[in-house]
Amino acid sequence: MILEIADIRIQPGQQAAFEAALREGIANALSKSKGFIRINVQHGVESPERYVLLIEWQTLEDHTEGFRNGPLFAVWRGHIGSFFAGPPAVEHFQAVG
C-alpha cells in the first residue's frame, strides 16, 4: 500500500466551495480509479486555506501512471484545480517493516 500526501493551499474564503468540489471529485473521479483504496481529508485549523489529502493506493503505479496519466485525472482537476493558490505538494510514503 502507498500513501499519497497532497498538501493543498486554496484561495482565501473558498473553503465551502472547495469542499463541495472535492466531494464531487472524489465521487466522480478518484473513487473510480484503479488501485484507489480510500481518502482522508484534513483541514487546517491555523491555516484555513490549507488542506492535506491522505490518499491510499494499492501501488505507486496506480497513482503515478494509471491515475495521473489517465482520463480521470482531468476530471479530478476539473473539479478542484481552479481553487488552488499554487501547485499542490505531493509525496508518496510506504509503511516500514
48: domain range? 2-94
- Dump pLDDT digits (tens) for 6-30: 999 999 999 999 999 999 999 999 9
pLDDT of 79 above 90 = yes
Whole-structure pTM value: 0.95
CATH at 34: 3.30.70.100
pLDDT band at 48 (very low <50, low <70, confident <90, very high): very high
Domain count along the chain: 1
Give pLDDT, residue 97. Answer: 83
Q: How far apart are CA 27 and CA 72, in angstroms?
A: 11
Residues in Cβ contact with 57 at an 8 Å cutoff, skipping those fewer than 6 apart:
1, 2, 3, 4, 35, 36, 37, 63, 67
